């Protein structure tokens, strides 16, 4: 059993009570809500005659259903309009802060909470969205929950949870140029499998992790859930503190020093005991891309689609299903696969540094004929920062569309979606069948720079070739 | 017509079974994202597995199990590994529940899906790979067979056979005693809740 890890310390501090049935009641320090998974929870609360226990620890935004072309109200889609109106009414009724459209703070929930300084080390963070693991980048214990649990957190600011085991993912070495946190996490998931993390919290540590920026750490923790781990985290360090200092909801003045002292004390100590440890070498990782229908079906861009013989016997039925669905031939190189749509955005890779990396590839080049390419900043703040540097100009000059913030084509809840058998190069996090809005649409997951490279070439391309020219 | 939604203690689930084979069936397949555009769960039942069903509608091997006449009204869903992976959407178990499912047996479940099911009073029990294949084969061979899933005894019986299953002690107790709905349990510790809040540095010593 793990001991002395950040996970153990944060868990112990937030334990409220032991519940009948053996689970633990865990206090939730920050509850993030959005329009998709909260309306039924508010309705259930009303049915029970309950109110929101800690509205000041509850923060809302709107992201999944917002259109990325025109965000004028009312939305063209009446269902989307109803969802946002319901969220607005619920927040007003319960005194919950809503960072809505045009506030300058709206955006994908996992982008805005960190950039506003709401997410801090040592917190427990819950949100009705599986990619809540993102917030673990700060050394918070953050996990996605279902709507019944959203109701529970609204009612009691706590959750019934079982304690996870802790696996340390130790990464030595250094990522090469053209290789990003997205490639690292796709590589980890490819190696450990989409079920490898079930029952675990992933602690990402080691020299390669310490060298990552906060935004890269967010990309990494964001996809812990795709590896089956309910949460992933990085121990807080100077990088974390530098990122947080001066943000609107971060501690200020002399409270800042107390905060840093406490945050520093939370990191897993040298004597920490882990339930498991796996080691990787960052320098050996190539730009990584998925070829199949789960995030675990990834390969280096210089590799070929695995044959059945190269596939673990257990995984063969899934591989066969993926060959059929993706229409890719085992044994053929993934590089050169033609794409139709190129999407840069999402809570995985819709932050400023992601757009900078993609813009560096797009600059002075042009999207290949017939390719639809678009960039969706993760938040209003990201959009403003990118525009201040002229990234929007770089993208539009290169033939990309520059859109309004939202979840966009990460999932099919807004007008952005694949049509028919279209195949996308996408910086998002899920390549499940039908994920991007067409029941037969296909998704190749990769880093934002790789998406930009695919847009320029019209086909899957090793971005390192474009960076060295 | 479907039985009422789970309520109170759930010692057992009885009904016919429907087999949906395959590993890693994710929540986008159980309920495609476009159906998440709703402010209530009411209309989700018919949308369960919508895209998979459409894909198989004219398949030579016949329609999706959820579209076969003999499985209408089935209460027990028999699946394989890592069922319910992907998004946290409770819309997935809600869609299954509203279609009529009251219990799921599989080789393994994604954690959030499992928790969401428990919160709705839908037991998810596990069986090893070979055992699961045997259960699925027995159910497929006799679609009219009525099965009983005994929560406390962790067993499934029907079609003249019986199989041992697994369910962790916690969920077993919660389901058997009717305490699977966590809200009231959580609210029972109001003083402890505030005591916990009072010792969290970020809420006290350096709160903004
Ligand atoms: S960007 Fe995608 S994964 Fe992230 S919150 Fe939005 S829909 Fe979910």
At B14-53, the pLDDT tens digits run 999 999 999 999 999 999 988 988 888 988 999 999 999 9
Asked if A214 and A247 count as a contact pair (C-beta separation under 8 A), the reply is no
Mean pLDDT over all residues of chain B? 92
Cβ of A215 below 6 Å from ligand 1: no
Query: Look-up: residue for tokens 């695995």?
Result: A306
Buried-state track B143-169, b at ≥16 Cβ within 10 A, e below 16:
beeebbbbbebbbbebbeeebebebbe
CA distance A160 to chain B (A): 7
Residue A152: list chain B partners with CB under 8 A: 182-183, 186
Stated pTM of the model: 0.90
The answer to whether residue B58 scores a pLDDT higher than 60 is yes
Q: How much is the pLDDT for A270?
A: 94
Residue from B152, B196, B207 whose CB has the most chain A CBs within 10 Å, to mutate: B196
Q: Which pair of tokens denotes residue A39?
A: 């309306």
How many Cβ atoms from other residues are within 10 Å of residue B191's Cβ? 10
Q: Which residues make beta-bridge pairs with B146?
A: B16
Query: Look-up: residue for tokens 């703070």?
Result: A105
Q: How much is the pLDDT for A36?
A: 93
**DSSP secondary-structure letter at A131?**
G
DSSP per-residue codes, A409-463: GGSSSSS----TT-EEEESSS---TTTTS-TT-EEEE--HHHHHHHHHHTB---H
The answer to whether residue B137 scores a pLDDT higher than 50 is yes
Q: How much is the pLDDT for B1?
A: 41
* A307-318: average pLDDT: 95
Among A32, A62, A108, name the best residue to mutate to test ligand 1's pocket (greatest count of ligand atoms within 8 A of Cβ): A108
Asked if A237 and A203 count as a contact pair (C-beta separation under 8 A), the reply is no
B121 pLDDT band, cuts 50/70/90, is very high
Task: Identify which of A452, A443, A172, A450 has the alpha carbon closest to the alpha carbon of residue A326.
Answer: A443
Find, in chain A, the residue whose alpha carbon is nearest to that of B85: A228
Q: How much is the pLDDT for B37?
A: 86
- CB contact set of A108 (below 8 Å; sequence gap of 6+): A61, A63, A346, A347, A350, A378, A379, A405, A406, A407
Q: Which pair of tokens denotes residue A425?
A: 């190069």
> What is the C-alpha to C-alpha distance for residues B105 and B126, in angstroms, rounded to an integer?
6
DSSP per-residue codes, A306-320: PPSTTS-GGGHHHHH
Q: Which residues make beta-bridge pairs with A144?
A: A127
CA distance B46 to chain A (A): 17
Residue B206: list chain A partners with CB under 8 A: 251, 255-256, 258-259, 262
Check A160 against B208: CB less than 8 A apart: no
Max Cα-Cα span within chain A: 65
A337 backbone φψ class: left, alpha, beta (φ>0; ψ -120 to 50): beta
Residue from B115, B128, B191 whose CB has the most chain A CBs within 10 Å, to mutate: B115
* A303-308: average pLDDT: 98
Cβ of A129 below 6 Å from ligand 1: yes
DSSP per-residue codes, A334-377: STT-B-SEEEE-HHHH-SHHHHHHHHHHHTT--PPTT-EEEE--
CA distance A379 to chain B (A): 21
Residue from B174, B177, B192, B202 whose CB has the most chain A CBs within 10 Å, to mutate: B202
Helix B169-177 with B111-120: angle, nearest 10 deg: 20
Check A17 against B89: CB less than 8 A apart: no
What are residue A170's phi and psi, to 5 degrees? -95, 125
B41 backbone φψ class: left, alpha, beta (φ>0; ψ -120 to 50): alpha
CA distance B67 to chain A (A): 18
Query: Which pLDDT tens digit goes with each residue over B145-173?
Result: 999 999 999 999 999 999 999 999 989 98
**DSSP secondary-structure letter at A33?**
E
Among A347, A351, A443, name the best residue to mutate to test ligand 1's pocket (greatest count of ligand atoms within 8 A of Cβ): A347
Q: In angstroms, what is the C-alpha Rg of chain A? A: 21
Q: How much is the pLDDT for A469?
A: 55
Pick the residue with more confidence: A109 or B39? A109
Domain ranges of chain B: 12-177, 181-208
Whose Cα sits closest to atom 4 in ligand 1? A347
Task: Identify which of A279, A282, A37 has the alpha carbon closest to the alpha carbon of residue A169.
Answer: A279
DSSP per-residue codes, A236-262: --HHHHHHHTT-TTS--HHHHHHHHHH
Query: Which pLDDT tens digit goes with each residue over A12-26?
Result: 999 999 987 788 999
- CB contact set of A313 (below 8 Å; sequence gap of 6+): none
B92 backbone φψ class: left, alpha, beta (φ>0; ψ -120 to 50): alpha
> What is the C-alpha to C-alpha distance for residues A218 and A235, in angstroms, rounded to an integer?
12
Cβ of A347 below 6 Å from ligand 1: yes
Cβ of A64 below 6 Å from ligand 1: yes
Mean pLDDT over all residues of chain A? 96
Query: Which pLDDT tens digit goes with each residue over B190-206?
Result: 999 999 999 999 999 78
> What is the C-alpha to C-alpha distance for residues B20 and A328, in angstroms, rounded to an integer?
25
> What is the C-alpha to C-alpha distance for residues A133 and A135, in angstroms, rounded to an integer?
5
Q: How much is the pLDDT for B207?
A: 63
Q: For B180, what's the count of Cα atoms within 13 Å in the CB-facing half-sphere?
A: 26
Whose Cα sits closest to atom 6 in ligand 1? A407
Cβ of A449 below 6 Å from ligand 1: no
- C-alpha distances (whole Å) from A104 to each of A88, A107, A120, A383 are 17, 9, 21, 10
Q: How much is the pLDDT for B89?
A: 86
Check A157 against B51: CB less than 8 A apart: no
CATH topology for the B12-177 domain: Aconitase; domain 4 (3.20.19)
Which of A152, A258, A413 lies at the smallest CB-CB distance from B206? A258
* A314-322: average pLDDT: 94
Q: Which helix (H) or strand (E) holds A235?
A: none
The alpha carbon of residue B182 and the mean position of all alpha carbons in its chain are separated, in whole angstroms, by 17
Q: How much is the pLDDT for A329?
A: 96
Residue A250: list chain B partners with CB under 8 A: 208
Task: Report the Cα–Cα distance between both ends of chain B, in Å, rounded.
Answer: 54
* A242-253: average pLDDT: 96
Query: Which pLDDT tens digit goes with each residue over A328-346?
Result: 999 999 999 999 999 999 9
């Amino acid at each position: 059993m793990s001991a002395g890890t950040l996970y153990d310390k944060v868990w112990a501090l937030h334990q409220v009570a032991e519940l009948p049935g053996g689970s633990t009641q865990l206090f939730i320090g920050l509850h993030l809500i959005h329009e998709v998974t909260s309306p039924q929870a508010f309705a259930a609360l009303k049915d029970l005659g309950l109110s929101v226990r800690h509205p000041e620890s509850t923060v809302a935004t709107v992201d999944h259903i917002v259109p990325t072309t025109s965000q004028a109200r009312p939305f063209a889609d009446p269902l989307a309009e109803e969802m946002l109106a319901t969220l607005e009414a619920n927040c007003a009724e319960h005194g919950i802060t809503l960072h809505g459209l045009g506030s300058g703070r709206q955006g994908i929930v996992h982008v805005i909470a960190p950039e506003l300084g709401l997410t801090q080390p040592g917190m427990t963070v819950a949100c009705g969205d599986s990619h809540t693991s993102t917030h673990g980048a700060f050394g918070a214990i953050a996990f996605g929950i279902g709507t019944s649990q959203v109701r529970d957190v609204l009612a009691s600011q706590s959750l019934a949870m079982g304690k996870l085991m802790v696996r340390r993912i130790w990464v030595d070495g250094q990522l090469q140029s053209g290789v990003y946190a997205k490639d690292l996490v796709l590589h980890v998931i490819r190696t450990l499998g989409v079920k490898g993390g079930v029952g675990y919290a992933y602690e990402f540590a080691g020299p390669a992790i310490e060298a990552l920026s906060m935004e890269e750490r967010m990309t990494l923790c964001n996809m812990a859930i795709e590896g089956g781990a309910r949460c992933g985290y990085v121990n807080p360090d100077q990088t974390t503190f530098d990122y947080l200092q001066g943000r609107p909801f971060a501690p200020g003045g002399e409270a800042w020093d107390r905060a840093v002292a406490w945050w520093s004390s939370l990191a897993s100590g040298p004597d920490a005991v882990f339930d498991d440890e796996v080691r990787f070498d960052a320098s050996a990782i190539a730009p990584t891309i998925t070829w199949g229908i789960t995030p675990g079906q990834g390969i280096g861009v210089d590799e070929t689609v695995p044959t059945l013989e190269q596939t673990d016997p257990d995984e063969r039925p899934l591989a066969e299903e993926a060959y059929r669905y993706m229409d890719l031939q085992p044994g053929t190189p993934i590089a050169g696969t033609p794409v139709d749509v190129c999407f840069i955005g999402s809570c995985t890779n819709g932050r400023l540094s992601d757009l900078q990396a993609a813009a560096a590839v797009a600059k002075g080049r042009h999207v290949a004929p017939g390719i639809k390419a678009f960039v969706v900043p993760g938040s209003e703040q990201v959009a403003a920062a990118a525009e201040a540097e002229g990234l929007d100009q770089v993208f539009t000059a290169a033939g990309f569309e520059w859109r309004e913030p939202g979840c966009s084509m990460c999932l099919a809840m807004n007008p952005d979606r694949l049509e028919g058998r279209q195949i996308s190069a996408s910086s998002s996090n899920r390549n499940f069948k039908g994920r991007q809005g067409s029941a037969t649409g296909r998704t190749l997951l990769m880093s934002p720079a790789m998406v930009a490279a695919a847009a320029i070439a019209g086909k899957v391309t090793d971005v390192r070739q474009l960076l060295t020219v | 017509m479907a039985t009422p939604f789970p309520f109170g203690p759930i010692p057992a689930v009885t009904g016919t079974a429907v087999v949906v084979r395959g590993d890693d069936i994710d929540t986008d397949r159980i309920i495609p994202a476009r159906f998440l555009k709703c402010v209530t769960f009411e209309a989700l039942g018919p949308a369960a597995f919508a895209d998979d069903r459409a894909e198989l509608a004219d398949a030579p091997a016949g329609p999706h199990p959820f579209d076969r006449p003999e499985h209408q009204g089935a209460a027990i869903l028999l699946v394989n590994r890592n069922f319910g992976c992907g998004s946290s959407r409770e819309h997935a178990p809600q869609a299954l529940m509203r279609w009529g499912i009251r219990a799921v047996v599989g080789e393994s479940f994604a954690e959030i899906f499992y928790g969401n099911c428990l919160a709705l009073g839908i037991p998810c029990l596990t069986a090893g790979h070979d055992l699961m294949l045997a259960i699925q084969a027995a159910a497929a061979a006799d679609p009219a067979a009525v099965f009983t899933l005994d929560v406390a005894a962790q067993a499934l019986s029907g079609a003249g056979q019986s199989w041992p299953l697994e369910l962790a002690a916690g969920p077993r107790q919660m389901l058997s005693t009717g305490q699977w709905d966590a809200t009231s349990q959580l609210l029972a510790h109001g003083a402890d809740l505030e005591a916990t809040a009072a010792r969290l540095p970020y809420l006290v010593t350096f709160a903004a």
